[in-house]
Chains A and B, each alone.
Chain A
């Protein structure tokens, strides 16, 4: 990866290393200047082993998350980049007619041919150019393949024809061991099979295979198995391929002198060629100016996309990880506050005998850095392990598309370590500064701190926060960004509350009111229910809203917990032998509001994030992965453009497929690639090549009459979905379009985007929208009127503009390929039927799939990704659980004498242990319920907002089956963490505990 948040990675690394140097330098300074304080700090580390282990776990989690995010970015970047280099080999650019090659790699289409001689012309033109090493004309045809020997077949593979005389600059045809294979030596009936195809049809050298093209069978002998490359027929889709000589295919397929594209090799080899790609592309475009060719910087674009993908994933993981990092920072603060509480008396004595506050800070910071340096090292290592696990999960999810290879760069390790150490250093410094502020007498006598009364400083702090908040609001307004705006409003509210405290306002009602106001504001603002300036926000809002809502809720809960707890205590009085345990379990959390609040906030933050993800994912899945996505059909049969099917039922006649189970068969004729472009009135002055491309499909009468696709918006005058389809069946000048085209969804379905004007997202009715379908090859224009916008659920499968089949046939040069849809009689097995169809149409290379199976597969993929993200975010739960453990261990030490007293007056071991477990339960449940409640609140407002409604979301659904296990696991883990200290507490010898000071 080259940058993060737009900042070059190397610059970030230098800044982070500088921060690390400052952190380490500070400690070195302390060690040299005040060796005693440094040693006091370090010697505190091994005082309590269990506690030290928990502290290290707590501190390292931030580094684990950072390291895992960076390494995942490296892995994705490396894997996709490697795939790009592996596939393209020495090809850096391609020259073709019409669309760029990379834009049509997702879809099997036949390309407009270009003359083979173009390669020679270009070679002549660039003779002596040191940046270009060769031109290679290539034919690439979709074919069906079978291996009679193994009885295995593949309905779709790409057969490439390579000009053997120009292979010198393209040494990419190599066997599995990397040895070059001589294409020129191939006979007319000989072919090379790529690895994916060989695996698919179980082919080996010497086998005879059949290739089907234009419904003709051609027999070839397999000479060798070669690596998957673009030149051996392997592209993004499909991966299966074969290669032979160009002249062989020209002859067999009757395409004399033709090629589909010209591959261009730059100087610099497989990886070095990218450096001159921009220059070569510019030169080629200049040379081909005025001709109908396009130049595609295939490799550099691919590498750029890989880096972008790595960046996006890293940023995504980083933002998701922010919740855990936030929880980790809270834990660090809490750990140091607790350590200070433990050492309050010794700190008081130290101050009494002459130590300055600075000395205490130095001691604490030294101790903190001791934990920190060690834990960051462990954290970086564990982060790499987590990233490896993520890579493994990605392989399971995406293995069929991209081969994921774990990759760790030194830069990422250095950055993770530096960031982890620096982050903890700052937190430790702040915590040390805070805890060193003590009253010496109270510290020595271990007396509780009195309630702090607001001072003039509170007033200044309040006013400062208000001013800063207003500043942020202005910044947000001018940049049209929600995050600073909303944060500013929250700070203003908090500032006013702090200032009001100074003026005598009562604390509890004041902070409760402010907390509730902030909660309501963030919820309602997320639902766009507050009129105000139009602003935008990114994924950072997810984190920010979580932090703000959890912070506000923590204040509200902690200021009012006594109401709930008193109720509990009242109930507990009637619970027999459990009653005394409940009494103490309830009393302690209330007395330690800081600890309880911090622990609750940590757990709430992570549960909030996990629940939000579950709810959002669940609701989006319900939109896209529902039966509606099938549009009323059960099976889709996609024909191989080289082997048209014609009439599906006829093609299947006598094949053994029971067509009597076909209730309906519809057909969509898809226009060729980017040949179809759309123009609206306001685009009338635009040149054809500047118009956005859009998929255009022609529907046959059967499809129009039998489909079950629903509309989210209909033109005025069409009262029902059926009325729209009926009108379309009778009028070739009408069309319907998918929901993505109306915009507002935030989704994109490939470049470049066409945005339909004349209808707002989510608008139920509209006036018919006129637009022109323009054939970019001929310039022919066909006017249509859009009268329906399909529902979001079906828009994924039926993406595009749909009109009469005649339009595609007459105006767009005919169908590039056809897609057939079959509806089966109820009870018929769609999977089995799809397989039977594919087997029957094997020689035509058709691919059949059960639409429900596709929905299920997508659901599984979506769920897989979701679980991966959830697992990563779940790391934060370790923070919350570690916090519960740290507190439990600490309280056993703190309350040793009290435990002795309780045992003396008759508490049994069980009652003491139960008291600890109930106390942890109470805090954990408070955190879980708060996080859960806030996530449901926010997601409700978000998912029922207008913009979500525009995206097709209807209603609100809570996936309890996913959420409840998360909550249960969190709760049980916290209990397990408390179990050991609670047992310790129960088994403390009474007399010893009473002696403890």
Chain B
């Protein structure tokens, strides 16, 4: 186990200009799952930085730790060691409530299976992050419509998820992820459940939002075509980042 002082020494501190430009800075992140009989070292000392307005894709074979890394970076899961700074905050030093609040205000999520509440309409699903962050009802509705407009779904605002196609559902998820104007959006296989046309449409949308709003995206994907549209691709094997490629 290393002390925090040792960690500080080992982490290459970015210059002032670089530090301001980084939204995620993960150092020596390790995570082991203890299932009782066996221990699975899911992350074995990950170092990763993400710049603002960057789209980064994390790729690798099944079980390499992509989703675990995403969960740890976004504070959905805890880490055993290392540090993760998101938008300047050490995410693992926050209490559960602070983390929750941080996620509500500064992060957005897009999941493979949409994870929309089936009992709420599209606009109501989009409203949820604003409701939890205490935004007024009127403002919530206004911003949610705006978010749906960005994903071209205002006509479907009052439809429930079951009444929407897979691509539409994922666009609702994107709208929900963006509605609170987050610093970063995490996507775990955001196109994994979509056909290639819909998958490309979602990526078009992500690229468009990145270009228009300088929105940062960290995406976990299996799909090389999707990853090819990211600014940078990080490759993982057995809990380690083994390669990195910057797309031109």
Q: Which residues of A approach B to under 8 Å, CB–CB?
A: 447-448, 573-574, 576-577, 579-580, 583-584, 587-588, 590-591, 897-898, 900-909, 911, 989-991, 994-995
Contact B117 A580 (CB under 8 A): no
What residue in chain B is nearest A992 (Cβ atoms)?
B77
Contact B132 A906 (CB under 8 A): yes
Q: Known contacts being A448-B118, A591-B118, A897-B113, is A904 close to B76, with CB within 8 Å? A: yes
Which residues on A sit within 8 Å (CB–CB) of B67?
991, 995
Contact pick for B103, options A576, A580, A590, A905, CB 8 Å? A905
What residue in chain B is nearest A903 (Cβ atoms)?
B100
Which residues on A sit within 8 Å (CB–CB) of B104?
905-906
Contact pick for A908, options B68, B77, B97, CB 8 Å? B97
Which residues on A sit within 8 Å (CB–CB) of B85?
none
Contact B103 A904 (CB under 8 A): yes
How far, in whole Å, are A47 and B100 apart by their CA atoms in the complex?
32
How far, in whole Å, are A744 and B103 apart by their CA atoms in the complex?
73
Q: Known contacts being A588-B119, A590-B119, A905-B109, is A580 close to B100, with CB within 8 Å? A: no
Contact pick for B71, options A448, A576, A579, A991, CB 8 Å? A991
Q: Known contacts being A904-B109, A905-B103, A907-B100, is A991 close to B137, with CB within 8 Å? A: no
Contact A580 B132 (CB under 8 A): yes
What residue in chain B is nearest A448 (Cβ atoms)?
B162
Which residues on B sit within 8 Å (CB–CB) of A908?
96-97, 100-101, 132
B64 to chain A, nearest CB (A): 15
Within 8 A of A (CB), among B93-143: 96-97, 100-101, 103-105, 108-109, 111, 113, 115-120, 124, 127-129, 131-134, 137, 140
Contact pick for B132, options A574, A577, A990, CB 8 Å? A577
A13 to chain B, nearest CB (A): 49
Contact pick for A587, options B74, B119, B162, CB 8 Å? B119
Which residues on B sit within 8 Å (CB–CB) of A903?
76, 100
Q: Known contacts being A897-B113, A990-B77, is A907 close to B137, with CB within 8 Å? A: no
B171 interface residue (CB < 8 Å to A): no
How far, in whole Å, are A994 and B103 apart by their CA atoms in the complex?
15
Contact A905 B176 (CB under 8 A): yes
Contact pick for B76, options A448, A584, A591, A990, CB 8 Å? A990
Contact B109 A901 (CB under 8 A): yes
Which residues on B sit within 8 Å (CB–CB) of A580?
128, 131-132
How far, in whole Å, are A587 and B119 apart by their CA atoms in the complex?
6
Which residues on A sit within 8 Å (CB–CB) of B119?
584, 587-588, 590-591
How far, in whole Å, are A991 and B76 apart by their CA atoms in the complex?
6
Contact B115 A898 (CB under 8 A): yes
B170 to chain A, nearest CB (A): 13
Known: A590-B119, A904-B76. 15 other contacts (CB 8 A): A579-B131, A580-B132, A587-B117, A901-B117, A902-B128, A903-B100, A906-B101, A906-B103, A906-B105, A906-B128, A908-B96, A908-B101, A909-B100, A991-B68, A994-B76
How far, in whole Å, are A447 and B116 apart by their CA atoms in the complex?
14
How far, in whole Å, are A994 and B120 apart by their CA atoms in the complex?
19
Which residues on B sit within 8 Å (CB–CB) of A900?
76, 115
How far, in whole Å, are A780 and B235 apart by their CA atoms in the complex?
119
Contact pick for B134, options A447, A448, A576, CB 8 Å? A576
How far, in whole Å, are A898 and B113 apart by their CA atoms in the complex?
11
A55 to chain B, nearest CB (A): 25
Contact A907 B109 (CB under 8 A): no
How far, in whole Å, are A995 and B68 apart by their CA atoms in the complex?
10
What residue in chain B is nearest A995 (Cβ atoms)?
B67
Which residues on B sit within 8 Å (CB–CB) of A897?
113, 115
How far, in whole Å, are A948 and B101 apart by their CA atoms in the complex?
63
Bitwise, B186-230 to A at CB < 8 A (1) or not (0) is 001000000000000000000000000000000000000000000
Contact A994 B115 (CB under 8 A): yes
Q: Known contacts being A990-B77, A994-B115, is A905 close to B129, with CB within 8 Å? A: yes
Contact A573 B103 (CB under 8 A): no
How far, in whole Å, are A587 and B111 apart by their CA atoms in the complex?
22
Contact pick for B111, options A448, A591, A906, A994, CB 8 Å? A994
Residue of A906, A908, A991 most packed against chain B (CB within 10 A): A906
What residue in chain B is nearest A591 (Cβ atoms)?
B119
